[in-house]
Structure 1
Amino acid sequence: MGMAIDFKRRFGSGGGGGDDVAAVAPSEEGDEKGGGVQRSSTATPGSALGVGDAQLHRKLSQRHLNFIAIGGTIGTGFFLSSGTALAKAGPAGCLISYVFVGTILWSVMVSLSEMATYIPTAGAFSVYATRFVDPSLGFALGWLYWFSWAITYALSLTAAGLIIQYWNEDFNIGIIIAIFWVVFTAANYLPVRWFGELEMWLSMLKVITIVGFMIFAICMTSGVGDEGVIGFKYWNDPGAFKEYMVEGSVGKFVGCWAVLIQASFAYQGAELVGVGAGEASDPRKTVPRAIRTTYWSIMFMFVVSIFLITMCVPSNAPDLLTEASNASASPLVIAAQRAGVKVLPHIINAVLLTAVLSAANSNVYSGSRILLALAEEKQAPQIFKKLDKRGTPIVSVAVTAAFGLLGFLNLSSGGAKVFNWLLNISGVAGLITWASTCVAFLGFMRAMKAQGMSRDELPYKSPFQPFVAYYGLFFNVLITLTQGFTVFIDWSTAGFFAAYISLMIFVVLYVVHKLVYRDSFVDPREADLVKGRLTYGAESDSS
């Protein structure tokens, strides 16, 4: 096929001032209870809300936000790469790594929730970094994050072609790329409510499949299938931990750390609920609930599924290390085959197809909103702020979607090498975004303190701050710096640049912007806590 892409690795991944903006009015239920949003206009929950000159329509409900994030997170990284994670670290090492990364994600999500509820804006990450920390940080973060989603769109389209080849190896991938590029680019020009509905149903299929696998796995470990009662058999033989690259206890730790990095890539996309905050109806209620629901839903599905996979499939199963990029590489399929179920590979392959298509849908949405946010902060050409009457950023969608055509590079071996290098940017970009979100939150807290504003005035107050943000910042930076550690154990110059190209680009973007614009770090006394905010009463939520 001429396909040189390392899909197993890729699937492991997966301001200025302004006037106070009128708040979206609360629901009737909120009015009856008192408190809530203080209306300074006649806006309704479905009306347009000004963010600078742009008018994004607030039409996304909590369930839309939930499924946009779930659609961007649960994809081929879960269905395929969880098998290689088991093979590297063993059942206990694999489970520990996924749970630990889940705690890091929680620190990011609650920090994001506090800012996104007070100032709900499209492209939240770069906006908060620009306003509360450093414009150069917002610039570098925004452009890197946008590029990662634009390139991931091309990956999703290519993956769809490979998955379809499971049923027909002679099918031309180029045709699939072209068809789905047209379909999902067009879908992103629909009114945002329709887009949210489409994403919800695509994501729902993945959720149903995961729940179905949980039920199947419980039955399998209890004795249903060819292998009889399994229980914790594979935790004892071949063992709870595996050595990876080096021998002994160090090798077991290396295996856990390698999976920890892989899990970090797999969880990425959960933060997309923050991108959708700029189009959420009644953000005071919608955003905190959506972030909490998204986090716990993803954690439950990831951790429980990984735990059941470790019970159903031994870590030394040879099929776990296959280079296939379709259902045959999925541990869900391997478990079914060991139980004697023959039809499941075709079902899983169909779900894989919906997974990558759902991801493709989210890729264009998130990338276009980041581009819009960059234009709003005057860090991108102002043409990207152009919206149609339905509130769709038409130019930003077009430019982001155009990068999906890079998927055609995979039709030749030389082009596939170029594409593989571009894809190395996407995984680490998510970690940089998580770390920068924690930095922005610390800047947000510092600005509030300097301007005499109590956190009790916020509509949502996250717990255990600022310690939670420091926790997330430390481990995100640590994982970002060490995610390519295997190249130092078995040195590879090409592998080094492939692992750290994203970090290099981020540093270059930051330094160039700093040298050109000479922006200083944001003075907390002058940080913009006004533009785009929603004005609330004293009542606040906490969790």
Structure 2
Amino acid sequence: MLISSHLISPMKEQKEVKEKTKDLEADDVYHSIQGDVKQDSGYFSRFIDSFKPMPSDENDSDMDTGLTDAQRTAIKTARNPMKQKLKSRHLQLITIGGSIGTGLFIGTGSALHTGGPAAVLIAWTLTGTMLYCTIQALGELASTFPRVLGGFNTYTSRFVDPALGFAVSWNYMLQWLVLLPLELVASSMTIKYWNTSVHPDIWVAIFYVFIVVVNLFGVKGYAEVECAFSLLKIIAIVGFIILGIVLCAGGAPNGLNNGAKYYYDPGAFAAGFKGVCSTFITSAFSLAGTEFIGLTATETLNPRKTLPSATKQVFWRILLFYMVSLTIITFLVPSNDPRLLGASSDASVSPFAMAIEAGGISGLPSVINAVILISILGVANTSVYATSRVLLGLSASGHAPKILSFVDRAGRPMAATAVTLVFGLLAFIAASEKEDEVFTWLLSISGMSAIFTWLLICFSHIRFRSALKAQGHNVEDLTFVSQSGVIGSWYGVGVNVLIFVVTFWVALFPIGERANVESFFESYLGFVVFWACYFGYKLWRKDFSFSFVPVETMDIQSGRVDMDVELLKEEIRQEKEFIRSQPFYYRTYKFWC
């Protein structure tokens, strides 16, 4: 039955009144912030003035001194000075294509060579289903607490343990911090595919200036550029899938029609069970960044509508862009092809280019290389956004220098952004003979941070649900409820622990090699760094207790959008009733999107 207009009207009017009131209040704040800036001042004057600090009348002295570390962190990070400029289209495109990069285009080749086609599909299926559950849990938390600085990193401090929150936040920050110089160097290496004679540092400088300029435009500049990059990557992946299906079905110009031959010769598994285990870390690396949606919540316009929709679309990215494209590759590229051993950002070693060449189609590797270059620049752009926001959250919670909490009138965390960009100058060692060694160790420092992050997102969700129940609330009070529920979060915890265990085994005893301390720490140093941060926090705070935040006193209110709960429940009820009244295809679409 369709909902009558007289039911929706009063709610819509109430909502419009509230939004208009908030807009008027926001305008008053804006004009008060402007101070002595004249409204008719020129663009340049307004631009310069935007770098002035955003005034705030809130300080730490207004908090009760008897608060625990977890409660104090919750209150501090809920004070959000950021601008909400991310729209639905921004979030959807960033969610679908934002983290598609060299992990998919290049890294999957080494996984295919090491593990074999069946191992690749097993690893990505387990990691993908785990990530689907993780993002569902994250979507519930981010929709409930959309105004918390630092995003999902602060959930661990609030719902599990401040020491674990400190460790996962610093590790996640390091993960993105090292990616800026790494991706800038990779971009200069990718350009070499076209045999350019330009010095690599010249390309690094060009791309570095591009990243700086984009981030001067704040969250909107980042979002528009990332949307454009994501759209191009999506078009490329969809085009490859269509072409790949044609090639697999026997439509190749050279008549290629191997069927499932490569599953028998050279075989479904290249190195047995250990080969399967070795592909897990590659699958995690290729899917890293999917959780990024939780970091954008603080700057999202109307998070109640946009966050749930973006959360659901993760399923399509995992299914379509990863599982379908990887399945096609396993039918077109043999795991014993020596080119798969290549580790550089080069289209010649991309399994996507190799699959196309197998069908007798030439010329497309240059297109693949262009897509790889776009992917690299997209990750470099995202690294500045992510690092600066995590640093801002760390500073707001008292876990990093206070100067990093500086936010200007345009809502840009300029101090944190400056630190990120200064670190990015390391990219100018692109011409150095030691560049590989330097970046191998930089990357190993935070190499496992994504797995720690996913594990603690799931565990934070479990703890949050426990607190919700202990404090007399239920899921009906939430704006979005995880489709996989607490069971999905326990599954996420289990798979992430499994990845840690198998990675330890393969790192300590590599396939076909003797145990090597250096290679072990290249793969597992991030694990050591995480626990060093954890125990370092314990020493710094002189807190040697190892208990979780009690669910009875857990803060499950700070950072939530102020709204009428009964009005929200009625609005959600009417939305569900409307969806139930629609045809099956519409209901299916709304469930997944």
1:55–1:387 Cα contact (<8 Å) kept:
yes
1:126 — aligned with what? 153
5+ unaligned residues in a row in structure 1: which ranges?
1-28, 245-250
3-state DSSP class of the match of 2:472? coil
Match of 2:232 among 182, 195, 205: 205
Change (3 A) 1:376 1:242: same
Change (3 A) 1:31 1:263: farther
2:114 — aligned with what? 88
Change (3 A) 1:35 1:484: farther
The separation in 1 between residues aligned to 2:268 and 2:212, in whole angstroms, is 44
Q: Does 1:339 align with 2:370?
A: no
3-state DSSP class of the match of 1:107? helix
How far apart are residue 116 of structure 1 and its match?
0.3
1:47–1:58 Cα contact (<8 Å) kept:
no
Q: Does 1:538 align with 2:517?
A: no
Change (3 A) 1:496 1:205: same
2:248 — aligned with what? 221
Change (3 A) 1:136 1:34: farther
| TM-score, with structure 2 as normaliser | 0.80
Match of 1:426 among 446, 455, 458: 446
Change (3 A) 1:324 1:360: closer
3-state DSSP class of the match of 1:271? helix
How far apart are residue 531 of structure 1 and its match?
1.5
3-state DSSP class of the match of 1:188? helix
Listed as ranges, the matches of 1:183-202 within 5 Å are: 183-202=210-229
Q: Structure 1 residues 216-225 or 67-76, which shifts more?
A: 67-76
1:234–1:313 Cα contact (<8 Å) kept:
no
Listed as ranges, the matches of 1:36-185 within 5 Å are: 39=18, 42-44=21-23, 52-120=78-146, 121-168=148-195, 170-185=197-212
The separation in 1 between residues aligned to 2:535 and 2:393, in whole angstroms, is 21
1:66–1:294 Cα contact (<8 Å) kept:
no
The separation in 1 between residues aligned to 2:164 and 2:24, in whole angstroms, is 33
Change (3 A) 1:509 1:30: farther
| TM-score, with structure 1 as normaliser | 0.87
1:21 — aligned with what? none
2:215–2:221 Cα contact (<8 Å) kept:
no
Listed as ranges, the matches of 1:247-258 within 5 Å are: 251=272, 253-258=273-278
The separation in 1 between residues aligned to 2:215 and 2:422, in whole angstroms, is 13
2:115–2:269 Cα contact (<8 Å) kept:
yes
How far apart are residue 278 of structure 1 and its match?
0.7
Q: Deviation digits for residues 11-62 of structure 1, max 9, x if unmatched?
A: xxxxxxxxxxxxxxxxxx9985699899598325996999655411111122
5+ unaligned residues in a row in structure 2: which ranges?
1-7, 30-55, 57-76, 577-590
The separation in 2 between residues aligned to 1:441 and 1:237, in whole angstroms, is 43
Change (3 A) 1:132 1:45: farther
Change (3 A) 1:401 1:441: same
Q: Does 1:517 align with 2:496?
A: no
3-state DSSP class of the match of 1:483? helix
Q: Structure 1 residues 265-274 or 324-333, which shifts more?
A: 324-333
2:149–2:396 Cα contact (<8 Å) kept:
no
What is the number of equivalent residue pairs in this alignment? 508
3-state DSSP class of the match of 1:435? helix
Listed as ranges, the matches of 1:446-461 within 5 Å are: 446-461=466-481
The separation in 2 between residues aligned to 1:208 and 1:479, in whole angstroms, is 31
Change (3 A) 1:294 1:33: farther
1:435–1:473 Cα contact (<8 Å) kept:
yes
Change (3 A) 1:300 1:33: farther
3-state DSSP class of the match of 2:82? strand
Q: Structure 1 residues 222-231 or 107-116, which shifts more?
A: 222-231
1:364–1:401 Cα contact (<8 Å) kept:
yes
% of aligned pairs identical? 36
Q: In the alignment, residue 390 of structure 2 is paired with which amino acid? A: I
Q: In the alignment, residue 569 of structure 2 is paired with which amino acid? A: A
- Larger Rg over CA atoms: 2
Match of 2:337 among 317, 321, 324: 317
Match of 1:404 among 424, 446, 449: 424
